[in-house]
Amino acid sequence: MRKLLLLLMLVFISTSVMAEWTALKWNHEDGGLTLYVDYTTIRKEGDRVRMLSLADFEVVEKNEVDLFSSRAQNEYDCKEKKIRQLFYSLYSGSMGKGKMEHSNSEHLKWMPVQPGSMEDAMWTVACGKKI
């Protein structure tokens, strides 16, 4: 398991260095973040798609650790309109830079995509729907 986590982190880090982030036209209800996807990471397999995304926080709340961005790999079910997170990492700098403060490679449960949500915007891109 430890080797798998290390491999996922290395792939994720090397992919993010070469990432071609494209901002999505999506607005958070209270502002404060910009959502990006890397179209070059879209991988389709049947009705399922995997894709990397990045959330860049413009407004940061003061906690013990300041987090300015997060990167995630999600899997999307295009037929059932569901999403599950496969991996995420939190960074002290913007655009996935700075110190990686936390990461998790635990695959989460499938969740329905809520209309108008950040997940809906990403599902729309991943599944090839028009925005």
- The answer to whether position 116 is within a domain reads yes
The reply to whether 83 falls in a domain is yes
Domain that holds residue 100: 2-126
| Residue at 14 is within a domain | yes
pTM of the model: 0.77
3-state secondary structure 55-96: EEECCCCCCCCCCCEEEEEEEEECCCCEEEEEEEEEECCHHH
Rounded CA-CA distance 100/87 in Å is 13
- 121 found inside a domain: yes
pLDDT tier for residue 16 given thresholds of 50, 70 and 90: very low
Per-residue model confidence as pLDDT tens digits over 98-129: 999 999 998 999 999 999 899 999 999 999 87
Model pLDDT, residue 7: 45
Instruction: Determine, yes or no, domain membership for 22.
Output: yes
Number of structural domains (the chain) is 1
Instruction: Answer yes or no: is 88 within a domain.
Output: yes
* pLDDT over threshold 70, residue 49: yes
The CATH number that applies at residue 7 is 2.40.128.710
Q: Is residue 109 part of a domain?
A: yes
Residues in the chain: 131
